[in-house]
Amino acid sequence: MRKMFLLGIVALILSSCYSHKVIGYLQEPTKSNHLPVYDSVHYEPYRIRVNDEIIYRLITLDETISKALGSNNSYAAGQYANSYRVYSDGTIDLPFLKPVKVQGLTEQEAQDTLRAAFREIIPDADVKLALYNKYFSVVGDARAGQYYVYREKMNIFQALAMTGDVMNSGDRRHIRIVRPRDGGQEPEVLEFDIRTNTIIDSKYYYIYPNDVIYVARTKGSFYKVQNYSAFIGLITSSVALLTSVLNYVAIIYQ
């Protein structure tokens, strides 16, 4: 009977731990771990969509334009604090210009387009443009919130690092990214196993503005320990329980 109790406690402890196989990143796919193998794809930069918001800075030495922009220094750069939404026809309305189409352009392409448009009326115009709504969101078993896409080619590991990583109870086998699509289409839902090393440079690797990363909770995670302190506590309490039960059984059969 004692052996049966001991084996039961050992099984409970082993089943209550998070192993590298369950939560480890960049694992090599093998026949034993059944990790998926994803194909590499060419990186595509983010392209501006309807309802995105644009901010820009117009730089010129033209005193008249500078004053019109409200600059205190006639030779300083005029800067707009407001953002400009991309309308359903793909255009934005800016001061001094007719509507400019930016839908489908990268930030660099949109910046070049605006510069060319302004130079038709301001020969020395220069433009600095950025996407205002450059954020992604995280929900589920990670630190939920909205985070800034601080660089081009931002990847899933960098994004999750900003949240403090996925919790041990998070289901790394079925991470989902909900990605909006243009033209009134339904959002694209990408589901992947983040543990495989073939995720690098795959279609699941890069994070774009407006992405929503969803981390589900694994089944049975309630019974698993989160760290070594909890693991030691589980062992101690299990041994104490085993000792009490065995002592009780010994008293009964005396």
Taking only the tens place, the pLDDT of each residue in 3-20 is: 554 445 444 444 456 678
**pLDDT greater at residue 33 or residue 242:** 33
Q: What average pLDDT score do residues 72-85 get?
A: 57
pLDDT over 60 (residue 231): no
Model confidence at 73, pLDDT cuts 50, 70, 90, reads: very low
- H-helix segments, the chain: 2-15, 20-23, 63-68, 107-119, 156-161, 228-252
Helix then strand then coil, % of the chain, to nearest 5: 30, 20, 50
Distance between CA atoms of 43 and 202, rounded to whole angstroms? 9
**Report field, pTM of the whole predicted structure over 0.95:** no
Q: Which residues pair with residue 57 across a beta bridge?
A: 79, 128
Taking only the tens place, the pLDDT of each residue in 105-154 is: 999 999 999 999 999 999 999 999 999 999 999 999 999 999 999 999 99
